[in-house]
Amino acid sequence: MELWKKSLKELSDLVKSKEVKPSEIVEAFIERKNQVEPKIKAYVTALDDLALEEAKKRDEELTKLENIPDLFGLPIAIKDNISTKDIRTTCSSKMLENFVPVYDATVIERLKSQGYVITGKTNLDEFAMGSSTENSAFFPTRNPWDLERVPGGSSGGSAAVVAAGMAPASLGSDTGGSIRQPAAFCGVVGLKPTYGRVSRYGLVAFASSLDQIGPFGRTVEDVAMIMNVISGKDPKDSTSRSIPVPNYLESLNKDVKGLKIGLPKEFYTEDLNPQIKEIILNAVKQLEKEGMIVEEISLPYTKYAIETYYIIAPSEASSNLARFDGVRYGYRAKEYKNLEEMYSKTRDEGFGAEVKRRIMIGTYALSSGYYDAYYLKAQKVRTLIYQDYMNAFEKVDVIITPTTPDVAFKIGEKSNDPIQMYLSDIFTVSANMATVPAISIPCGFKDNLPVGMQIVGKPFDEETILQVAYRFQSLNDYHKRFPEV
Ligand code: GLN
């Protein structure tokens, strides 16, 4: 089998047994990228030369190493809102088009300590605001399963590179679904860790109380392998927690028998597309046959999740994006009469329409006259949503829902209707508000497009959702299918 079709774990085994050199692996992925990237456009910056140079260094080092790290010499793509020292980090915004960070994000330092090889920086909705990657200031990315459709967003580039075989794995970020929704649309595995599981240091902030970095892979093992490396306390991020990190890869095989699955009745309503519903319930049935116990549960406040999220996330965004003023970072307007005009022209020219919309909504919700009515109220509802999940987790071990209400939509289909776009996050945003971990795995096809199943877990219990996902994967072959690009 071609190297680009292999999973990260398979490639890791090949490097460890010294059957294949890192440079051969990296070359295979570059060759594949050269074939399909012109159609998909997943990379903002492809780093072929750097990747080859790094891989050749790994070839050398490999001959001397006794203990070979899991990710040694393996190519991984990075979402372009994660800071990479000396490598342009744009957030797919004109504001940061030429911004070159002077430091690495903690996740990058950790991948480097394993000897990974960066393949490039992937496209996203500007500052991670969106669900389709159409909000990139540069170009939209296309879904490898159907080039007329979106790959999801905001981490659309990171999902598309994995689906199309341009990289075996990637990192994304998830504030309201930006890892899980594109994973579902592209037929790959994506995990949003518990808030505080993975350091956010070096992730360009969107909504700081919701943002988490997480991995994409073709398989559950691949995602577990990356989680082993990026998880854990970081002194540079005070919201990261010093809860011990288990070996996710080694515990995958644990029996799921007797574990309880909760199906929230609020997610399986009349409104849910009947084909999606059938696919998810069939997947749940497979897990039931493995000895898992299925129960209906209720998450009553999740019906307010979208409204609450779209107050909290823009509020935090409006505050975080205040730093882009033409003084500190990136873009500055060419012509202005005074300081105030420099600020306003810089922001007017540097930000796209969706980012401006969020800044306006957020500034409004935080303004003194409306703070109590909007922001404070939303925070209270967020607590109720959190409590819903904690109550449910007294009864069940995992919660299973569809990842998205439907399969990937057409490019342009929702871009003029922000409300329709926001509704595509309906099943994912509440996990961010409740801080809990959630994974999306491919579980079927509708009209030849992938469907994702979301498995949500207790705080810091990534281990159990990975085990359930792994068991499901072992009963199916969705992870072995490739789109024809
Ligand atoms: N689609 C959601 C939004 O636009 C989530 C984005 C994300 O998770 N970064 O806010």
What is the number of the ligand 1 atom nearest to the C-alpha of 207? 9
**Residue 270: pLDDT above 90?**
no
The pLDDT value given to residue 147 = 98
Q: How many CB atoms lie within 10 A of CB 19?
A: 9
Check pocket membership of 212 for ligand 1, CB cut-off 6 A. no
Residues with catalytic roles: 79, 154, 178
Tokens 């994967």 appear where?
473
Report whether 452 contacts 184 (CB < 8 A). Answer: yes
Residues 462 and 459: their CA atoms lie apart, in Å, by 8
If we measure between CA atoms, which residue out of 318, 320, 297, 316 comes closest to residue 308?
Answer: 316
Phi and psi, residue 373, nearest 5°:
-75, -35
Those residues whose C-beta lies under 8 Å from the C-beta of residue 181, and which sit 6 or more positions away, are 131, 152, 153, 403, 404, 424, 425, 428, 440, 452
- 470 CA distance to ligand 1 middle (Å): 26
What integer best gives the mean pLDDT of the chain? 97
Q: What is the pLDDT of residues 286-324, one digit of tens each?
A: 999 999 999 999 999 999 999 999 999 999 999 999 999
Say which CATH architecture domain 3-258+462-480 belongs to: Alpha-Beta Complex (3.90)
The pLDDT value given to residue 278 = 97
The pLDDT value given to residue 94 = 98
Domain regions of the chain by residue span: 3-258+462-480
Residues 72 and 212: their CA atoms lie apart, in Å, by 24
Largest distance between two CA atoms of the chain: 71
The pLDDT value given to residue 175 = 98
- 310 CA distance to ligand 1 middle (Å): 9
What is the number of the ligand 1 atom nearest to the C-alpha of 129? 4
Check pocket membership of 174 for ligand 1, CB cut-off 6 A. yes
Tell me which H or E stretch contains 79: strand 75-79
What pLDDT band is residue 424 in, cutting at 50, 70 and 90? confident
**Residue 14: pLDDT above 90?**
yes
Check pocket membership of 89 for ligand 1, CB cut-off 6 A. no
What is the number of the ligand 1 atom nearest to the C-alpha of 421? 1
The pLDDT value given to residue 195 = 98
The pLDDT value given to residue 42 = 98
